[in-house]
A and B are shown apart, each in its own frame.
Chain A
Amino acid sequence: MEPQNLPTRKHGLTAIDGALALIVILLIVQMWLLTATLESYLAGYREVVLPAAIVSGILFIICAVLYLFVHRIDADARETSSKHVAEISE
């Protein structure tokens, strides 16, 4: 079996794609939040600025955690495939 067709790798790719989709959604929300906050701030409404910064920070933390998740899956899958390649070559 080719390394790219290993079940671990396929599952890994699916998980990464899912995490990637989630990050994209969170990023769109963050972009909207930034533009809405800027618009409100320039219009003189300052009370929204602090909650918006907090929410944006939380969204960034979630994105960072998802990145760590992607990194871990990547590490696991590549480790598995390199073991598999080593076994075949033996």
Chain B
Amino acid sequence: MKLFRRASKEPLWKDEFSINRADEQYVNRRQFTKFLVLTSLGMFVGNTWILVRSCFSKTPVYPEKNICRAQDVPVGGVWLFRYPSEKDACILIRPDEETYVAYSQKCTHLSCAVYYAPTKNRLECPCHEGYFSVKDGRVLQGPPPRPLPRVVLERRGDDLVAVRMEIQKES
């Protein structure tokens, strides 16, 4: 039993452009099915391409960047900066006397800028009311699918230095 056989013994062009009206319904459906299956192949190729890119992409190298002096940020205040490139807005928060945390300012939902709400001690996205924890950047509420990327800070004397970004796992 052949898996794939021609619809008839007619030449190929007669198979694809039938003069029989009854056959036309079949030809149309078969051709449309072929188009959909080729689209499906395109989707698979797209996914495979992402996989290949992922295998060959290098781990990003983050520069060290001096952000500000620790006393520049008041308790309950924020400091806006850009890291790792000038296009990436980040927010540094000082929720209490000894704690400094920094996150990417782009909401993981639709990239709106998040801001710090000191009264509720959380990061809020004004676009769709997505809330993030100040402690670890995890999603507290709303549509964001992932936690905020965290900027790892080091304190060097009085200075706060960003050393790398940390993509956090979904909680």
Contacts and interface: CB of A to CB of B under 8 A. Distances in A.
By CB atoms of chain B within 10 A, which of A3, A12, A24, A70 has the most? A70
Given A4-B25, A16-B29, A63 B36 contact: yes
A4 B47 contact: no
Contacts of A79: 7-8
B101 to A, nearest CB: 19
Interface residues of A, number: 48
Contacts, number: 124
A72 B124 CA distance: 57
Interface string B23-41: 1011101101110110111
A9 to B, nearest CB: 7
A41 B30 contact: no
Interface of B: 3-8, 20-23, 25-27, 29-30, 32-34, 36-37, 39-41, 43-44, 46-48, 50-51, 53-54, 108, 146, 149, 167
Q: Is the interface of A mostly helix, strand, loop or mixed?
A: helix
Contact of B43 (A16, A31, A66, A75): A31
B39 A68 contact: no
Q: Is the interface of B mostly helix, strand, loop or mixed?
A: helix
B50 A38 contact: yes
Nearest to B43: A30
B36 A23 contact: yes
A30 B47 CA distance: 9
Nearest to B23: A78
Interface of A: 2-4, 9, 12-13, 16-17, 19-20, 23-24, 26-27, 30-31, 33-34, 37-38, 41, 43-46, 49-50, 52-53, 56-57, 59-60, 63-64, 66-68, 70-72, 74-75, 77-79, 81-82
